[in-house]
Amino acid sequence: MGLLDKIKGELVDIVEWLDDTRDTIVWRFPRYENEIKMGAQLVVRESQTAVFVNEGLIADVFEPGTYTLETQNLPVLSTLKGWKYGFHSPFKAEVYFVSTRQFTDLKWGTKNPVMMRDPELGMVRLRAFGAFAARVTDPQKLLRELVGTDPQFRTDEVHEYLRQNVVSHLASALASAGIPVIDLAAHHAALGTQLATKLTDELAELGISVPNFVIENISLPPEVEEALDKRTSMGIVSSGTVGSMAAFQQFQAGAAMEAAADGGGSAGAVIGMGLGQSVGNAIVPPTQTAPAPTQTAPASGPPPLPGWYLGNGGAQTGPFDDAALAAQAAAGTLTAGTLIWRAGMSAWEPASSVPDVARHLGATPPPLPQA
């Protein structure tokens, strides 16, 4: 190799960056000891910016496009180099390519719970997580404040700093919003927009913006969520009706049986069922009965258990469901003249006049007349 070939090999005539990564923000062109040829081609692609640095000072900045490097389009570098009268010679300068696209794969989350005062629950601890996007808006500020002389500046080098800023603003955003924890899910989008604006304002001095901020979830501690689930389950008795009370009793018994099954012991099942029964009895006392079998409307008082009541000879029995009524009819206890009553009826009526009961009578004969 001749001297001329060696000199030509040390001159760079094309300056460009083909990014094959998804996390590189700044990439320094590997010039090494080579000099950039005056008249070389600079190729800056869309979503890129090229920044020339000479002896530690930022010189010229190029937006997307193709340029021929001459003193005419290198005004600052030409001044620093002292080229006068269009002197064309190779030069040494560092070229940093800055990606200006959105980096959307940035995750955030709260390592420690965020404390806030909820108008309904009082003091609560919240955890949250989501994702956000970051973009370089001022390459010069980014180089001065964060990159320095790093030849390949990646997102993981600034990710933790951005995450800390997110968490610091999250607590104030939640506290100032005045939204109950139970209603936060409906305001995720609005809170995300608010946080994106605040973060963009704070990071402007670093040349970074946050164009998009997503809150995926805000959650309470497990024990608080369990208590809320219990409170929701208890809501079935809020109406105070007979049906809801009976449903609550069944719910308690079923929950006790499920817990006992998880514990693997039959004794636990018996105890659990007893607890469920006792709670249900506290709501619906088992001694409550239907009104006396007279032809008047039932007296006001605690609601009776659901079912049919029979009145024979001044004695009251029940309650009976449909299957039990059929058995009473088969045994002869339920006849056409038997008085019938259940919740919702204004007075006792003969069984034969109540269609839902009369269908169980069939061909059962009426009582024999007195001699």
The whole-angstrom separation of Cα 349 and Cα 340 is 5
pLDDT by residue for the chain (371 residues), tens only, comes to 444 444 444 678 899 999 888 899 999 998 767 788 888 999 999 999 999 998 888 999 999 999 999 888 888 888 888 876 677 788 888 999 999 999 998 999 988 888 888 877 888 888 899 999 999 999 999 999 999 889 999 999 999 999 988 988 887 888 777 888 888 888 899 999 999 999 999 999 999 999 999 999 988 888 888 877 777 776 655 545 444 555 555 666 666 666 666 655 544 444 444 544 544 454 445 444 555 555 444 444 555 667 888 888 778 888 888 888 888 888 888 888 888 888 888 888 888 888 888 888 875 555 666 76
State the DSSP H helix or E strand holding residue 176, giving kind and residue range, or none if neither: helix 156-177
Q: Domain check: are 150 and 79 in the same one?
A: no
Location of structure tokens 């008047």: 296
Q: Domain check: are 251 and 345 in the same one?
A: no
- Both tokens assigned to 69: 């490097």
pTM over 0.95: no
Q: Domain check: are 187 and 234 in the same one?
A: no
Q: Are 133 and 102 in contact (CB under 8 A)?
A: yes
Q: Domain check: are 212 and 227 in the same one?
A: no
- Both tokens assigned to 53: 């640095």
Instruction: State whether residue 357 is helix, strand or coil.
Output: helix
Number of domains in the chain: 4
Domain that holds residue 18: 3-99
State the DSSP H helix or E strand holding residue 24, giving kind and residue range, or none if neither: strand 24-28
Q: Domain check: are 256 and 306 in the same one?
A: no
Q: Are 55 and 27 in contact (CB under 8 A)?
A: no
Listed residue (309, 305, 260, 306) closest to 285, CA to CA: 305
Q: Domain check: are 301 and 350 in the same one?
A: yes
CATH number of the domain enclosing 190: 3.30.479.30
Q: Domain check: are 111 and 159 in the same one?
A: yes
Q: Domain check: are 81 and 169 in the same one?
A: no
Q: Domain check: are 143 and 240 in the same one?
A: no
| Final residue before a domain boundary, out of 202, 220, 238 | 220
Distance from chain centroid for Cα 240: 34
